Amino acid sequence: MNRPLMVAFDLANQQAAMELAKALGPDGRGKTVKVGMELYYKEGARILQKLQEQGYAIFLDLKLYDIPHTVEKAMLQLARLGVDYVTVHAMGGQEMLQAAKRGLAAGAAESGLPAPKLLAITELTSASEEVVSKEQNCRLSLEEQVLSLAQLAKDSGCDGVVCSALEVEDLRRVLGDDFFYLVPGIRMSDDQVGDQVRVATPAMAHKAGASAIVVGRPINQSAQPKRAYERYLADWQDSLKEN
């Protein structure tokens, strides 16, 4: 089973993205990159094509959250881009999530491409218990909220969720192994956590049951991105071998 380490290309423009791609090696085959809002809003679909031409699989992380009709039509367009994963906010509700799935299916059928995996954002890894309670006015604990949103996502036809490593074990126990658990907020124990709150090492994420992990600043802001990538990949792959 493919369990990728995704590198977050959270960068300002195409030049920076191509420099990082070059630093990671001449061939992107077997690698997955995350293109988020900053890079996509600057460069649009052309940056996806550039990366795909080098062999990279694409996680397009735009976190759609709007009325169902708008999300459905947006997903129809994204499915035509040949990306591998896309995201929506689970808080958009069942009708919106189902509309997203319909849009992906329609766009894939029209373009003759496989439909991207639809991943639902639960709670961002920058969110804390206090944020969920005091700012979101949620009556549930953080863990209960993540489980509730993940259950909604699965019931609505999503292929998986984005969550922290701290919740994966409980989610797998309730939702099963036929669901995709993507874990951002990955840091080695000696790295700066930045604005992340719920973090884990690659090995910790695997032990918890992550299907894939996303690593951003420790690689894309490193003076030696390839060495940083290989360090994280080794920790992730070593943990997979132990399984």
Q: Which whole number is the average pLDDT over 208-221?
A: 96
> Concatenated DSSP letters for 34-80?
EEEHHHHHHHTHHHHHHHHHTT-EEEEEEEE-S-HHHHHHHHHHHHT
Domain residues for the domain of 37 are 5-241
Checking if the pLDDT of 157 tops 60, the result is yes
Is the model's pLDDT at 196 over the cut of 60?
A: no
Mean pLDDT of 26-39: 96
Choosing from 42, 50, 63, 73, the catalytic residue is: 63
Instruction: Confirm or deny that 195 is annotated as ligand binding.
Output: no
Answer whether residue 243 shows pLDDT above 70: no
Q: What angle do CA 158, 160, 166 make, to 5 degrees?
A: 140
The overall average pLDDT reported for the chain is 94
Instruction: Give the C-alpha separation, 211 to 93, whole Å.
Output: 24
Q: Binding residue per annotation — 69?
A: yes
Q: What is the CATH number of the domain that holds 166?
A: 3.20.20.70
16 pLDDT above the threshold of 60: yes
pLDDT the model gives residue 192: 55
Active site residue 134: no
Q: Mean pLDDT over residues 151-166, rounded? A: 96
Per-residue model confidence as pLDDT tens digits over 122-141? 998 788 899 999 999 999 99
Residue 54 has pLDDT above 90, yes or no: yes
The verdict on whether residue 187 carries a ligand-binding annotation is yes
If one counts the domains in the chain, the total is: 1
Is the model's pLDDT at 55 over the cut of 80?
A: yes
Question: Is 107 marked as a binding-site residue?
Answer: no
| Least confident range of 74-88, 124-138, 146-160, 204-218 | 124-138
Q: Which helix (H) or strand (E) holds 86?
A: strand 85-89
Residue 11 has pLDDT above 70, yes or no: yes
Task: For 56-79, write each residue's pLDDT tens digit.
Answer: 999 999 999 999 999 999 999 999
- Is 201 assigned to a binding site? no
Statement: residue 1 has pLDDT above 50: no
C-beta separation of 28 from 51 below 8 A: yes
**170 known member of a binding site:** no
The predicted model scores a pTM of 0.93
Encode burial over 133-166: b for 16+ CB neighbours within 10 A, e otherwise.
Answer: eeeeebeeebbebbbebbebbbebebbbbbbbbb
Average pLDDT over residues 163-182: 96
Distance between CA atoms of residues 197 and 182, nearest Å? 16
